[in-house]
Amino acid sequence: MFMFPLPFLTACLLAVLFGYSLILRLPALVHLALAGYVLQAILIGVKWGLYDLRPLPVIVLASLLPLLTWAALTELSGKLGARARQIVLAGALGLVALVAALALAGQGDALDLLSTAQYVIFGTLLVAQAFRTAPKWVAIDAAAMPVSAELAFLLGGMLLLGSATIDIAFFTQMALAKGHIGSVVVGYTNFLAALITSAVVFWGLHGRNEPEPVFAPLAAEAEAPDADDPDLRQAAEILDRLDRLMRQTHLYRDENLTLHRLASHSDTRARQISTAVRTLRQMGVPQYVNSFRVSDACRMLAETDMPVTEIVFAVGFTTKSSFNREFSRCHGLSPSAWRAQYRKGPMAEPDRGPMACA
C-alpha cells in the first residue's frame, strides 16, 4: 500500500505560509527562509519515504536554516541593515562551501558539531532578542501579523534550541552504540519544529481574512446599510462598537495591535470584525486601524508642537515611511505640509475617524 510521507504534509502547510508571505509582500529573506523549510520537508520526505536520497543536499540545507531564520525575523523587526544583509549572504555562501567540503571529506563528526552549534547559537540569539530588545514588527504593519514580534522571536529561538537538544541526545546515544547517522537528523528534527510552527501560525491566522495590499478608496459618501438586511445591521452594530472602542481607549496606539487582539478587546469574533470593516468601509483591518492613527496624528499636528518624528510613534506607527505613506494616502499631503496649511487657515477641523481616509 502506498504510504504518504508525513514531511510532504508539512511541505504543503509551509507552502501555504510561503504564499501568505508573498501576499503580505514580506522581505525577500522571509521568502527565502520559508522556501528553505519547504524544500527541506520535501527532501526529507523523498529520503525517508520514497528512495535513498544522497544526504548532502539535506545536510547543506539544514545548516542554512538557523541563519536564515534569524536573519528573516531580524529583517522583519527592522534590525537588519544593508551591510548586515551582505554579511548574511556571504556567511551563507561560506557555510555552504564549508559544509560541502566536510561532507565530501567524510568528516561526519565535524558536521554534527557544526550543525548543532549553529542551532544553539542562533536559537540563543533569538531568545535573547525576545527578552532584551523587545522586538517590534517594522517591515510590515503589526496588525497584519498573526503574532507579536516578541512571541515570534521567542518561539523561533525555542524551536531551534529544542532541535539542538534532540540532536545532542541522539548523537550521544548513537556514539555510545557505535553507530552514526550524520547531520541529516538535524533536518529531520527541524522538520518537526516546522510542523509545530505551522500549527501555531495557522492558529494565529484562524478566523482572519487576508489584509488587502492595495486600498480601494470609498465613494464620497458611504451608503447606509439596508435596514431590512440582518447581516448588514449586525455589521453596522459591530463597526459602531469598534469605532467607540478605538476613540475611547486609543487602542490603535498599540503598535503590536493584531486582529485577534482587537477581537479580544471588543468581545467580537475576528472574522466578524474583518467582514464588517470590508463591507461597510471597503478597506482591510490594517487600513482601518491606520485611519485612526492618521486622524490622531492630525489632531496632534494641529493642537501641539510635537515633532513629526515623535508623532509617528505616539499614534502607533513603527516607521516614519509607513506613516508618511498612510498620511499622504488619506490627505494628499505630507504631515509637515498638512500642519503648515492648517495653521494658515481657514481649514476644516482635524479628522476624527476612519472616514478621513475614505
Taken as a whole, the chain contains a residue count of: 358
Averaged confidence pLDDT in the chain: 77
DSSP secondary structure string for all residues of 121-151: HHHHHHHHHHHHT-----SS-GGGSSS-HHH
- Give the integer Cα–Cα distance in Å for 137 and 148: 7
**Whole-number pLDDT of residue 120:** 94
Residue 9 · residue 18 · CB < 8 Å: no
pLDDT at 293: 93
In DSSP notation, 243-308 reads: HHHHHHH-GGG-TT--HHHHHHHHTS-HHHHHHHHHHHH-S-HHHHHHHHHHHHHHHHHHH----H
What are the cell numbers at 82? Answer: 544593508
pLDDT tens, position by position, 48-87:
666 666 777 778 888 899 999 999 998 887 778 778 888 9
Q: How confident is the model at residue 203, as a pLDDT?
A: 56
C-beta of residue 267 within 8 angstroms of C-beta of residue 325: no
Q: What tens digit of pLDDT does each residue of 143-188 get?
A: 566 677 888 899 889 888 988 887 787 777 666 655 445 445 545 5
For residues 182 and 47, the answer to whether their CB atoms sit within 8 Å is: no
Cα–Cα distance for residue pair 167/40, rounded to 1 Å:
17
Please give the pLDDT value at position 28: 84
Cβ–Cβ under 8 Å, residues 233 and 225:
yes
Distances, alpha carbon 250 to alpha carbons 13, 209, 296, 315, 355, in Å:
36, 23, 9, 9, 16
Distance CA 348, CA 48 (A): 68
Q: Distance between CA 357 and CA 321 in Å, rounded?
A: 17
Assess whether pLDDT exceeds 70 at residue 219: no
| CATH architecture of structural domain 231-357 | Orthogonal Bundle (1.10)
Give the model's pLDDT for residue 221: 37
Quickly list H helices, the chain: 6-23, 28-49, 55-76, 82-104, 108-132, 149-176, 184-205, 230-249, 259-266, 270-281, 285-303, 308-314, 320-331, 335-344
pLDDT-based confidence at residue 11 (cuts at 50, 70, 90): confident
Burial of 40 (0-12, 13-18, 19+ CB in 10 A): buried
Distances (CA, A) of 142 to 114, 246, 335: 35, 16, 22
- Confidence category of residue 320, pLDDT binned at 50, 70, 90: confident
Give the per-residue pLDDT at 127.
93
pLDDT bucket at 353, cuts 50 / 70 / 90: low
CB 17 within 8 A of CB 34: yes
Residues with Cβ within 8 Å of residue 321, at least 6 apart in sequence? none
For 88-114, the pLDDT digits (tens) are: 889 999 998 998 888 888 887 888 888
Q: How far apart are CA 70 and CA 84, in angstroms?
A: 12
> What pLDDT score does 75 carry?
84
Q: What predicted TM-score, i.e. pTM, was given to this entire model?
A: 0.55
